[in-house]
């Protein structure tokens, strides 16, 4: 094979249709479309190992629980597994009255007959048939001209109509797909569909579904929307037809294509949960539904326990959901980066549970889809004080004062840089302990006696210094001043905060002190204790020991 000089010349651009008075860009989606899940058909046909009967049933029940009312359950003429599954659904009474099953067949009489056999006794069913209409498929697959390809659609439609008329105990619905619609000349697609309408004679009360697939996504989504709007304007008996869209994701814009198509007049959307399907997948129904939800529109599908749905889908498809998949991925509600964490923490603090959701960087409240807030903030070397503060608040009830947040975040930053790894809330807490709460050298406070009289305090401290116990005494206006006066070093208190951790009998006090030792850079200390005075004394010793260590390091470095 000789290589082209410019390999991109191997491909041709998509031909746009002319529709200068298009109206879809101004439309707003204000209600859910009719949804059809094709997980058990288009999804299933793309799996390395198609589902067995048990998996199909588990998936079917999950789809029913989510609220799908139309479910394509298989291609019964393709395999015994699919045929038997349809029989089991019908004979086992597994189809709720408000759910309609749909099955797919090629436009071939033998396959259509087998399809009808599989549906015997169904209360309701949609028979979906297809044949490709695009130029390359006419030439390559069918070796037929337009007339020939249209005749395939009409002949198969007639067979379907005849077999349905012969089984009036079932309430039939019909769906026709001009496969590869988006690559088909638009006037020819309409011509074929109008011929199919001629066969089924739909009415407003008994509509025909015309499903217009982007079988292989081939252009930007605005082109698909143009095609859908054009089709809706030119198809016969628009009031007796449901326009359905079925997008694949070859260019990565399946969701956008479906949404713009609904703006352009589509009534119905076919897709798969979490975007399984041929090649890059069918459009993801979960994303579409939750996109509506986050616009304040009821999607009429229930993803309030999204992880339970995901588990069923992953087990049945044997394909993991990507950690960045919209709404459901493991990482999609997680912020690692500092400025995001800061905004999220402030957002949570200000969010009123009854008000419109406004937490920055979180397009959905994770709780609405059954997620907790645990994973919302995770800390690594990209994180700042906001995230660290959030985790200590959420997990340990520790509210670091602002200047201390800045100081401690530098400690955490050094550690995450050193490790090159994420730090959990527990690891951050351990670091806080080792850096502040266990800063007991060279001066370890072993006990104190405090006396207070008319606003004057005097204190006697038992302090261990280099293994030797010493007694220090001091007095002043209040316990802290008394303590400072007892110290053998010159210490200035810059800032002080305290708060309770927990409530009731088990509540503790947390104290934070910022000191300056002998004119050095100020440093913080923390003390936690049942007794508020003890907590503040511990905080001062924590700060003092850290400051002494800092001074030693400075001297060594000099
Ligand atoms: C875009 C989509 O997802 S379409 C759905 C695709 N899904 C599947 O194919 C899964 C199930 N399919 C199968 O198991 C098999 O293809 C079967 C059982 C349906 C048919 O198998 P086979 O009879 O062996 O035929 P095969 O699959 O090779 O199809 C090729 C023949 O069908 C014809 N054909 C293909 N699609 C269609 C169609 N929609 N309508 C009519 N004829 C068609 C081809 O022109 C070809 O005919 P030829 O043999 O005269 O050249
Ligand atoms: C059978 C049709 C609807 C299909 O799956 C497609 O064209 O992608
Ligand atoms: Mg498909």
Q: Is 179 in the pocket of ligand 2 (CB under 6 A)?
A: yes
Find the 42 Cα to ligand 3 centroid distance in Å: 6
Q: Decide: helix, strand or coil at residue 240.
A: helix
Q: Decide: helix, strand or coil at residue 238.
A: helix
Find the 72 Cα to ligand 1 centroid distance in Å: 18
Report which secondary-structure segment, H or E, holds 484.
helix 479-486
Q: Which atom of ligand 2 is nearest to the CA of 248?
A: 8
Q: Is 44 in the pocket of ligand 2 (CB under 6 A)?
A: no
What does the alpha-carbon distance between residue 437 and residue 360 come to, in Å, rounded to a whole number? Answer: 34
The model carries a pTM of: 0.90
How far apart, in Å, are the Cα atoms of 500 and each of 398, 404, 437, 525, 531? Answer: 9, 17, 16, 16, 10
User: Taking the CB of residue 30, how many other CB atoms lie within 10 A of it?
Assistant: 9
Give nearest CA residue, ligand 1 atom 21. 78
Find the 132 Cα to ligand 2 centroid distance in Å: 9
**Quick one: DSSP state of residue 140?**
I
CB-facing half-sphere around the CA of 304: CA atoms within 13 A: 5
Find the 27 Cα to ligand 1 centroid distance in Å: 38
User: Taking the CB of residue 83, how many other CB atoms lie within 10 A of it?
Assistant: 19
What does the alpha-carbon distance between residue 90 and residue 209 come to, in Å, rounded to a whole number? Answer: 23
Q: Which atom of ligand 2 is nearest to the CA of 42?
A: 5
Mutate to test the pocket of ligand 2, among 70, 211, 276 (most ligand atoms within 8 A of CB): 211
Q: Which atom of ligand 1 is nearest to the CA of 111?
A: 19
Report which secondary-structure segment, H or E, holds 258.
helix 254-263
**Quick one: DSSP state of residue 304?**
T
Q: Which atom of ligand 2 is nearest to the CA of 270?
A: 3
Report which secondary-structure segment, H or E, holds 192.
helix 186-200
Instruction: Tell me, rounded to whole angstroms, the distance of Cα 479 from its chain centroid.
Output: 53
**Quick one: DSSP state of residue 284?**
B
Give the environment of ion ligand 3: residues with CB less than 5 A: 42
User: Taking the CB of residue 457, how many other CB atoms lie within 10 A of it?
Assistant: 20
Please list the alpha-helical segments (H only) found in 397-424: 402-419
CATH class of 443-557: alpha beta
497 in a known ligand binding site: no
Give nearest CA residue, ligand 1 atom 8. 45
Sign of the CA dihedral 228, 234, 236, 237? positive
Q: Is 130 in the pocket of ligand 2 (CB under 6 A)?
A: yes
Q: Is 129 in the pocket of ligand 2 (CB under 6 A)?
A: no
The token pair at 123 is: 């209360």
Question: What are phi and psi for residue 480, nearest 5 degrees?
Answer: -70, -40
Find the 131 Cα to ligand 1 centroid distance in Å: 9
282 in a known ligand binding site: yes
Question: What are phi and psi for residue 456, nearest 5 degrees?
Answer: -95, 140
What does the alpha-carbon distance between residue 285 and residue 287 come to, in Å, rounded to a whole number? Answer: 5
Contacts of 264 (CB under 8 A, 6+ apart): 22, 24, 27, 225, 226, 228, 229, 232
Torsion of CA 434, 435, 441, 446, to 10 degrees: -70
Which parts of the chain have pLDDT scores under 50?
none
Contact 511, 535 (CB under 8 A): yes
Domain boundaries, the chain: 31-317, 338-421, 443-557
- Identify the CA nearest to 301 among candidates 369, 209, 365: 369
- Closest ligand to C-alpha of residue 105 is 1
Q: Which atom of ligand 2 is nearest to the CA of 132?
A: 7
What does the alpha-carbon distance between residue 193 and residue 187 come to, in Å, rounded to a whole number? Answer: 10
Pick the CATH number of 31-317 from 3.40.190.10, 3.20.10.10, 2.40.170.20, 3.20.20.70: 3.20.20.70
Find the 177 Cα to ligand 3 centroid distance in Å: 10
- Identify the CA nearest to 312 among candidates 352, 272, 283: 272
Q: What is the pLDDT of residue 41?
A: 98
In residues, how long is the chain?
A: 558
What does the alpha-carbon distance between residue 23 and residue 552 come to, in Å, rounded to a whole number? Answer: 74
Report which secondary-structure segment, H or E, holds 386.
helix 385-396
211 in a known ligand binding site: no
Contacts of 140 (CB under 8 A, 6+ apart): none
Cis peptide before 155 (omega within 30 of 0): no
Q: Is 151 in the pocket of ligand 1 (CB under 6 A)?
A: no
Contact 70, 126 (CB under 8 A): yes
Q: What is the pLDDT of residue 102?
A: 99
Q: What is the pLDDT of residue 8?
A: 85
Q: Is 107 in the pocket of ligand 1 (CB under 6 A)?
A: yes
Find the 494 Cα to ligand 2 centroid distance in Å: 71
Question: What are phi and psi for residue 121, nearest 5 degrees?
Answer: 85, 0
**Quick one: DSSP state of residue 347?**
H
Q: Is 106 in the pocket of ligand 1 (CB under 6 A)?
A: yes
- Closest ligand to C-alpha of residue 216 is 2
42 in a known ligand binding site: yes
Contacts of 6 (CB under 8 A, 6+ apart): none
Report which secondary-structure segment, H or E, holds 366.
none
Instruction: Tell me, rounded to whole angstroms, the distance of Cα 190 from its chain centroid.
Output: 37
Q: Which residue has the tokens 């530098």?
A: 410
Instruction: Tell me, rounded to whole angstroms, the distance of Cα 412 from its chain centroid.
Output: 29
What does the alpha-carbon distance between residue 250 and residue 262 come to, in Å, rounded to a whole number? Answer: 19
Q: What is the pLDDT of residue 519?
A: 85
- Closest ligand to C-alpha of residue 211 is 2
Find the 246 Cα to ligand 2 centroid distance in Å: 7
Q: Classify the complex by whether its ipTM is higher than 0.95, answering yes or no.
A: yes
Cα 489–Cα 494–Cα 500 angle in degrees, nearest 5: 110
Give nearest CA residue, ligand 1 atom 5. 42
Q: Is 411 in the pocket of ligand 1 (CB under 6 A)?
A: no
Q: What is the pLDDT of residues 46-99, one digit of tens each?
A: 999 999 999 999 999 999 999 999 999 999 999 999 999 999 999 999 999 999
What does the alpha-carbon distance between residue 419 and residue 434 come to, in Å, rounded to a whole number? Answer: 17
Q: What is the CA radius of gyration of the chain?
A: 35
Give nearest CA residue, ligand 2 atom 2. 179
Find the 299 Cα to ligand 2 centroid distance in Å: 23
What does the alpha-carbon distance between residue 55 and residue 59 come to, in Å, rounded to a whole number? Answer: 6
Q: Is 114 in the pocket of ligand 1 (CB under 6 A)?
A: no
């Amino acid at each position: 094979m000789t290589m082209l000089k410019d390999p991109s010349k191997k491909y041709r651009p998509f031909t746009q249709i002319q529709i200068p008075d298009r109206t879809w860009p101004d439309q707003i989606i204000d209600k859910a479309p009719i949804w059809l899940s094709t997980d058990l058909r288009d999804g299933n046909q793309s799996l390395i190992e198609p589902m067995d009967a048990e998996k199909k049933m588990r998936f079917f029940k999950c789809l029913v629980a989510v609220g799908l009312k139309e479910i394509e359950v298989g291609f019964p003429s393709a395999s015994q597994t699919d045929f038997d599954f349809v029989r089991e659904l019908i004979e086992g009474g597994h189809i709720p009255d408000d759910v309609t099953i749909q099955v797919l067949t090629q436009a071939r009489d033998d396959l259509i007959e087998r399809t009808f056999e599989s549906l015997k006794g169904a209360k309701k069913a949609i028979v979906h048939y297809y044949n490709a209409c695009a130029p390359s498929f006419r030439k390559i697959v069918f070796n037929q001209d337009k007339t020939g390809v249209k005749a395939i659609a009409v002949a198969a439609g007639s067979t379907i109509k005849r077999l349905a008329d012969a089984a009036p105990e079932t309430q039939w619905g019909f769906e026709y797909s001009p496969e590869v619609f988006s690559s088909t000349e638009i006037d020819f697609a309409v011509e074929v569909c109008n011929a199919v309408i001629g066969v089924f004679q739909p009415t407003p009360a008994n509509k025909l579904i015309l499903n217009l697939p982007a079988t292989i996504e081939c252009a930007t989504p605005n082109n698909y929307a143009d095609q859908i709007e054009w089709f809706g304007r030119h198809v016969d008996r628009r009031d007796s037809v449901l326009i359905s869209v079925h997008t694949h994701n070859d260019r990565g814009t399946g969701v956008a294509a479906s949404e713009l198509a609904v703006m352009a007049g589509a009534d119905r959307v076919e897709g798969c949960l979490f975007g399984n399907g041929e090649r890059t997948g069918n459009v993801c129904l979960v994303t579409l539904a939750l996109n509506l939800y986050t616009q304040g529109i009821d999607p009429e599908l229930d993803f309030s326990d999204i992880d339970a749905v995901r588990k069923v889908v992953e087990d049945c498809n044997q394909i993991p959901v990507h950690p960045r998949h919209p709404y459901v991925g493991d990482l999609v509600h997680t912020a690692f980066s500092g400025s995001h964490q800061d905004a999220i923490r402030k957002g949570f603090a200000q969010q009123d549970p009854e008000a419109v959701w406004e937490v920055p960087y979180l397009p959905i409240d994770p709780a609405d889809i059954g997620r907790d807030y645990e994973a919302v903030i995770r800390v690594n070397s990209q994180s700042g004080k906001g995230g660290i503060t959030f985790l200590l608040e959420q997990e340990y009830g520790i509210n670091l004062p602002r200047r201390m947040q800045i100081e401690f975040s530098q400690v955490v930053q050094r550690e995450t840089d050193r490790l090159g790894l994420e730090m959990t809330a527990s690891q951050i807490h351990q670091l806080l302990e080792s850096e502040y709460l266990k800063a007991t050298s060279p001066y370890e406070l072993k006990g104190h006696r405090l006396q207070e009289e008319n606003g004057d305090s005097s204190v006697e401290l038992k302090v261990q210094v280099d293994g030797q116990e010493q007694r220090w005494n001091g007095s002043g206006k209040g316990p802290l001043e008394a303590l400072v006066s007892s110290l053998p070093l010159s210490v200035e208190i810059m800032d002080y905060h305290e708060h309770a951790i927990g409530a009731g009998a088990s509540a503790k006090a947390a104290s934070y002190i910022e000191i300056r030792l002998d004119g050095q850079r100020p440093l913080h200390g923390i003390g936690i204790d049942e007794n508020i005075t003890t907590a503040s004394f511990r905080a001062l010793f924590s700060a003092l020991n850290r400051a002494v260590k800092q001074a030693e390091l400075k001297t060594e470095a000099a």
